[in-house]
Amino acid sequence: MSTITSLMSRIFAGLQFENSCDVGVFSKLTNAYCLVAIGGSENFYSTFESELADVIPVVKTSIAGTRIIGRLCAGNKNGLLVPHNTTDQELQHLRNSLPDQVVVQRIEEKLSALGNCIACNDHVALTHTDLDKETEEIIADVLGIEVFRQTIAGNILVGSYCAFSNRGGLVHPHTSIEDLDELSTLLQVPLVAGTINRGSEVIAAGMTVNDWTAFCGSDTTATELSVIESVFKLREAQPSAIVDEMRKSLIDTYV
Partner 1 sequence: MEMPRKPARHHRLLPVRPLTFSPFARSVARVATAYLVKHHMHDAMQQSAGDEFKEKLKNIDRQSESSEDEEFDGVVQADFAFFDPKPDDFHGVKTLLQSYLNNKQWDLSGFVDLILGQTTVGTVVKLEDDEDNGVFSIITALNLGRYKDHKCITELKEFLLNLCHEKDKIGNLRSLLGDEAQKVGLLVSQCVVNLPPELLPPLYDALFDEISWATEDEHKNANQKRSSSTDKDEAFVYIKPEDEILHKLSMWSFLFPLQTQQVATHELKNYQLTGIVMAVKAEDISSFRQQLHALINES
Please report, as ranges, the residues that interact with partner 1 according to CB under 8 A.
16, 18-22, 25, 41, 68, 71, 195, 197-202, 205-206, 218-219
List, in sequence order, every residue forming a beta bridge with 192; answer none if it has no partner: 170
Alpha-carbon distance 169 to 177, whole Å?
A: 14
List, in sequence order, every residue forming a beta bridge with 155; answer none if it has no partner: 152
* Least Cβ distance, residue 128 to partner 1 (angstroms): 16
User: Residue 37 or residue 126: which is nearer to partner 1 going by CB?
Assistant: 37
* Least Cβ distance, residue 245 to partner 1 (angstroms): 35
User: Residue 55 or residue 203: which is nearer to partner 1 going by CB?
Assistant: 203
Count Cβ atoms below 10 Å from residue 84 Cβ, excluding itself: 12
* Least Cβ distance, residue 26 to partner 1 (angstroms): 9
Count Cβ atoms below 10 Å from residue 18 Cβ, excluding itself: 11
* Least Cβ distance, residue 233 to partner 1 (angstroms): 26
Q: Give the phi and the psi of residue 105 in degrees, each rounded to 5.
A: -130, 135
* Least Cβ distance, residue 16 to partner 1 (angstroms): 6
Alpha-carbon distance 226 to 235, whole Å?
A: 10
CA 130 to chain centre: 21
Alpha-carbon distance 25 to 163, whole Å?
A: 12
User: Residue 180 or residue 202: which is nearer to partner 1 going by CB?
Assistant: 202
Classify residue 43 by burial, with Cβ atoms within 10 Å: 0-12, 13-18, 19+: exposed
User: Residue 83 or residue 239: which is nearer to partner 1 going by CB?
Assistant: 83
User: Residue 10 or residue 28: which is nearer to partner 1 going by CB?
Assistant: 28
Q: What region, left, alpha or beta, does residue 39 occupy, with left being phi > 0 and alpha being psi -120 to 50 degrees? A: left
User: Residue 82 or residue 113: which is nearer to partner 1 going by CB?
Assistant: 113
* Least Cβ distance, residue 54 to partner 1 (angstroms): 27
User: Closest by alpha carbon to 34, among 251, 239, 252?
Assistant: 239
User: Residue 223 or residue 249: which is nearer to partner 1 going by CB?
Assistant: 223
- Which residues, in sequence order, are CB contacts of 5 under 8 Å at separation 6+? none
